[in-house]
Each structure stands twice: as C-alpha cells, then as structure tokens.
Amino acid sequence: MRRTLKAAILGSTGLVGIEYVRMLANHPYIKVGYLAGKGSVGKPYGEVVRWQTIGQVPTEIADMEVKPTDPKLMDDVDIVFSPLPQGAAGPVEEEFAKHGFPVISNSPDHRFDPDVPLLIPEVNPHTISLIDKQRERRDWRGFIVTTPLCTAQGAAIPLAPIYMNFKIDSSLITTIQSLSGAGYPGIPSLDVIDNVLPLGDNYDNKTVKEISRILSETKRMVDDDDNNLSLGATTHRVATIHGHYEVIYITFKEDVTVEKIGETLDSFRGEPQNLKLPTAPDKPILLINQDARPQVYFDRWAGNPPGMSVVVGRLGQINRRTIRLVSVIHNTVRGAAGGGILATELLIEKGYIDKR
C-alpha cells in the first residue's frame, strides 16, 4: 500500500505555484501539506492568491495559511516543489537539499550545474542518476532536480524524437510566448499591448543552451559521427495569457519525408507512459493535421491531464532536407508544474523519493 506523500509548494501564490495546487488537488498519492510564500506569509491562501487558471481554489486549500519558506518548519514534508524566482531560488533550494529534502525546481538557478538533472521525463529520464553524484559531491541527504525553461521544452519535446532517429544538421526556432511565462505581474502592459515584444539575445541564448543540453542527453538511435547540431532561437512575447507557440525549421543531413517525421512524432512515448504515471498524458506529442492549427487558445489545454501534451501541427516539407513544424505548449503546466509533478512521479518510481 502506497502511503500519501506530503508536498510543500514554495512560491505557492505564483503562477506556477497555483498550477501545482490545482494539479495536486486530485493526485492519487501526493497531497499539498505546506504552502510557502514571502509577501503573503500569515494570510489564508484563498484570500491572498490570484487564481489565474481554470477552476477554483480547492476548498481544502483555501483556508490554509501561507507560511515562511523555511526547511526547519517542514518536518513532516516529503517533497518540495520550488517555483521560486531566479536568484532567490538558488540558495533556498540548496538549503532544503542540505536538510534532506528532494527539491523539484522550476527555476533557472541550478539548470546548468553538471550534477543536477535538467529533466523532461519522456526525453532524458536516465539523467536522474546524476542525483547520486550530486549527493556524494555535495554531501547532501536531499537533492535538486530541475525542469527546463518552458520555451526550451516547447521545442525540445518535438525535437527529441526527431534527433534520436534522424541526422539533424540545424534547427531554427521562432517563439511567440504568453504573458504568464513572465510570472505575476510580469510585463508592463504598455510594452506588450499592440506589440510583439522581442525577448532579446539573453533569452534567445538561454533557450538554445537548454535545448542543446537536453538533446545531447537523449539516447540516439542513429549512427552519426558528427552529431553537433547548430541551433538558433528568436524569442518574443505577445499578449496571450497562457501557451507558447513555437515555429521550428529543421534541416537534415539526409533526405527526409514529412510523413516519416509525422510517424516519429506520433509514436513517441517515454518511461512515464510505459509506467502509466498518473500525470503522464497518453501521448506527450499530439499531432494535429488540420490546417491553421495548432492555435494557442484552443490547444494549450490539450492532453490528459489537461495541458500535459504538446500539440504539433503545420508539418510541412520545405525541400528534400528541410521540414517545418509548429508546437504549442502550456507553459505553466507541461512547461513547469505538470513537468515537475511528472518528474516527481518518476523519481518515486525509481526509488529516489520514499514511497513506502
């Protein structure tokens, strides 16, 4: 009999924090036991939270008090979800890991530590074993696992099965991202209404860097002596609420057909599907053949649980060696909280979190 595990959510009032609360309300074996914050400490969650997602604040959570972000107050907590802001997250997460907690982080601060997994459960599950090195090197009882930037996941999830099965030469990605990707209150309205806001070199570069790390960690099935892939990203924000739309061109070192690429995407499954983890969608990639789809408004909540599938469409043959596709990812669900919960389920399955 599996015992119920108690989770603490740091940054619980933020846009990613609320998705953790929403998704864990019906989870079969993870229950919210501690809601942490900063400015909201001491207040009832239901009064202080801006519930900018579907549904309502779960009734059993609404009266819970938001408490300090302090590992010493969390004796009975088994798992710590950390959607904390960049900069604040790094030292806090280390402190929790030192105190023995498994920390599942959505923040960027530890994404490039070589001993910290940057995990998409379907794509690079074997990187979980980095935790052993991490604990040994840092002498921690707990550990940190990170999930990638939402934007990087929107491209890496469709690119991964293609990269594993074909010889890719280069890929160019253009993103059109939602406001919730920047947290609350996020971007000033005057910067983004009636505008397409370029996110700039820094954001472009970090997107490329994360996708490169993730793809380099996949298990390749093709022989390719030179698997150096040239990647470019141009990122933008527009006034949509949730859902990142990404246009991806891929050039191969060999002739490909759009049909073969479609079959590869459609048949892609990973360990979470094989293990039937509760937060695993049947299909991590939902291929859509309709013209002028995917659309952010209609497709961001795709999959079961809602928002956990990346929708891919507009597959097009540009020439014998180049194809185009478009993806839509729910940035705060698959790109953050849902990805964090799925990672946790896999960590439990692999024995890194006690499931007694």
In this chain, which stretch among 37-45, 128-136, 226-234, 294-302 interacts with ligand NAP, using CB under 6 A? 37-45
Ranges within 236-295 binding ligand NAP (CB under 6 A): none
Taking CB under 6 A as the rule, does residue 84 contact ligand NAP? yes
Name the residue type at position 245.
Y
- Catalytic entry in 110, 150, 236, 242: 150
In this chain, which stretch among 81-89, 156-164, 213-221, 300-308 interacts with ligand NAP, using CB under 6 A? 81-89
Q: Give, to the nearest 10 degrees, the angle between helix 150-165 and helix 258-266.
A: 110
Respond yes or no: is residue 242 known to be catalytic: no
Per-residue binding letters, 86-115, with ligand NAP (x by CB under 6 A): x-xx----------------xxx-------
Pairing of strands 168-177, 244-252: antiparallel
In this chain, which stretch among 177-185, 218-226, 275-283, 320-328 interacts with ligand NAP, using CB under 6 A? 177-185
| Count, residues near ligand NAP per rule CB under 6 A | 30
Interface residue with ligand NAP, options 5, 7, 8, 17 (CB under 6 A): 17
Pairing of strands 102-105, 143-146: parallel
Alpha-carbon distances of 152 from 40, 52, 283, 294, rounded to whole Å: 30, 23, 19, 18
Alpha-carbon distances of 88 from 38, 93, 203, rounded to whole Å: 11, 9, 19
Name the residue type at position 264.
T
Interface residue with ligand NAP, options 33, 83, 102, 117 (CB under 6 A): 83
Name the residue type at position 324.
R
Name the residue type at position 348.
I
Interface residue with ligand NAP, options 46, 58, 90, 183 (CB under 6 A): 183
- Find the shortest distance in angstroms from Cβ 289 to ligand NAP: 28
Exposure b/e, 279-308, CB count within 10 A at least 16 = b: bbbebbbbbbeeeeebbbeebbbbbebbbb
**DSSP bridge pairs for 146:** 105, 118
Q: Give, to the nearest 10 degrees, the angle between helix 338-349 and helix 15-24.
A: 50
Q: Which is nearer to ligand NAP, 283 or 300 (CB)?
A: 300
**CA gyration radius, the chain:** 20
Taking CB under 6 A as the rule, does residue 188 contact ligand NAP? no
Q: Which is nearer to ligand NAP, 183 or 278 (CB)?
A: 183
Q: Which is nearer to ligand NAP, 25 or 187 (CB)?
A: 187
In this chain, which stretch among 113-121, 178-186, 289-297, 304-312 interacts with ligand NAP, using CB under 6 A? 178-186
Respond yes or no: is residue 244 known to be catalytic: yes
DSSP structure string for 152-173: HHHHHHHHHHHHHHS-EEEEEE
Ranges within 293-332 binding ligand NAP (CB under 6 A): 331-332
**DSSP bridge pairs for 232:** 172
The residues annotated as belonging to the active site are 150, 244
- The contact set with ligand NAP (CB under 6 A) reads 11-17, 37-40, 69, 83-86, 88-89, 106-108, 150, 180-181, 183-184, 331-332, 335-336
